[in-house]
Amino acid sequence: MISFGTVNIVIAGGGASGALTPGLAVADELRGLLANSRLTLAGSGSVREYRRVARGGHKYRVVGLPGDTARKPGLLSRLSRFAAERRLLKQAGASAVVSVGGEIGERVGRAAVALGLPLVVLDCDAIPCRATRYLASHADLVCLGYEEARQYIRSPGGPVRVTGVPLPASNRLSYADRFRRRDARKTKPFKRLLILSDRQGNHQLDAVLPRALDRLQNRLDSWRVVHHTNAMEVRTVKGLYRRFRIDAVATSHIHHLPAMLDRVDLAIADASSDTFADVTAAGLPVVLASADRRSGGQQLANAKMLQRHGACALVERTDREEEWMRVLDPLLADAGRRQLLSTALERHFPSDAAWQIAVMIRDLLATPQRRRSA
């Protein structure tokens, strides 16, 4: 039941796993700033996303993607467009909507525009997504993760602010703090190299990378490899490491990725996979692999931008063992190089980004002419 005087804010986004992570960070800050706030996060319904929202103590709603209504002709099509999203906003008694991108963010954002609700657009990519580019002209506020994204925003309806990428409070550890805490409880004298392939498996990470590590055996004396891949590839990957006599664990499931990242010294991740946000948000020294496949366009643009700022290493020719060796050799050997990557990465994920966005939303809702509920 919605109480009188409650500020009901709907934060919507996805499609992709991890898309709601920045929105969850903002929701946590809004709860502290607005004592009478009620936060609803609307997403794709993935188990991983649901668990994250549940841990944050917020309400979660699943938004279905369009079906046959998109093909209905004429008046019926216009009447049925975004009907489910408008109904969601009315049921939530929404006072404002925050779109964090993706098809779900776009559809809920369009419904907010149709209902005349205050709209905030949050985009954490170097190249803003289609939803952001469309909704920006209707938004009361546009928040961007990177300065490079500003050039893509044409005729914004409200101010455009570059805040950095907002992180949940659990991720806000500096490199020094993270490794000091880890070393305090460390019981084994090895460092961890975490390799994150995507769910479909990545031939370069699963086949070429173990062979490159075999040629770097002189750097692996104090390292243990944890290689996450598709369930169908686990036996093959495990066999490669066994053949090369590399201390490695191959698995298809990591129960709690943030906890694992807290114990990692160097990570390798597919730039087009849905773990990209988790790894970069953790502030770890990271090597990103670009296989130039499927839908990794935006994530690849993020990776290249981070590389230009010295915040990650990038391997573009992932099918070449020599390229992997060139990038990994100095990082495996030198903790100072790993720290440089991690420190540069922290600058792109400022600890107060979520708070800044939440304050701007609070101030927007305090404006008399923008006080309205669905």
Residue 77's pLDDT is what? 44
In this prediction, residues 357-370 reach a mean pLDDT of 85
pLDDT tens across 87-128, in order?
999 999 999 999 998 889 999 999 999 999 999 999 988 889
Residue 68's pLDDT is what? 40
Residue 305's pLDDT is what? 87
Residue 202's pLDDT is what? 67
pLDDT of 193 over the 60 cut: yes
Residue 295's pLDDT is what? 47
pLDDT of 272 over the 90 cut: no
Question: Which of 195-209, 237-251, 303-317 is predicted least confidently?
Answer: 195-209
Q: Can you list the domains of the chain with their CATH numbers?
A: 7-168+351-370 (3.40.50.2000), 173-346 (3.40.50.2000)
CA dist., res. 358 & res. 27, Å (int):
8
pLDDT tens across 134-147, in order?
999 999 999 998 88
Regarding beta strands 160-162 and 119-123, do their DSSP bridges make them parallel or antiparallel, or are they unpaired? unpaired
pLDDT of 80 over the 60 cut: no
Residue 187's pLDDT is what? 55
pLDDT tens across 19-55, in order?
788 899 999 999 999 988 899 999 988 887 888 888 8
Residues contacting 25, CB < 8 A, separation 6+: 166, 167, 168, 169, 353, 354
In this prediction, residues 173-190 reach a mean pLDDT of 56
Report residue 157 as tokens.
């309806």
Residue 282's pLDDT is what? 76
Task: Return the SS3 of 86.
Answer: helix
Q: What value does the mean pLDDT of the chain take?
A: 83
Report residue 225 as tokens.
């490899």
Q: What percent of the chain has pLDDT over 90?
A: 46
Query: Where is pLDDT greater, at 66 or 298?
Result: 298
Query: Model confidence at 306, in pLDDT bands (50, 70, 90)?
Result: confident
CA dist., res. 346 & res. 311, Å (int):
8
Task: Report the candidate in 272, 276, 264, 90 with the shortest Cα–Cα distance to residue 186.
Answer: 264
Task: Report the candidate in 277, 70, 38, 316 with the shortest Cα–Cα distance to residue 167.
Answer: 277
Residue 371's pLDDT is what? 55
Which residues on adjacent β-strands are paired with residue 119? Answer: 97
Query: Model confidence at 267, in pLDDT bands (50, 70, 90)?
Result: very high
Strands (E), 275-319: 286-289, 313-315
CA dist., res. 29 & res. 356, Å (int):
9
Query: Model confidence at 71, in pLDDT bands (50, 70, 90)?
Result: very low
pLDDT of 206 over the 50 cut: yes
Question: Which of 64-73, 244-253, 295-304, 362-371 is predicted least confidently?
Answer: 64-73
Residue 294's pLDDT is what? 47
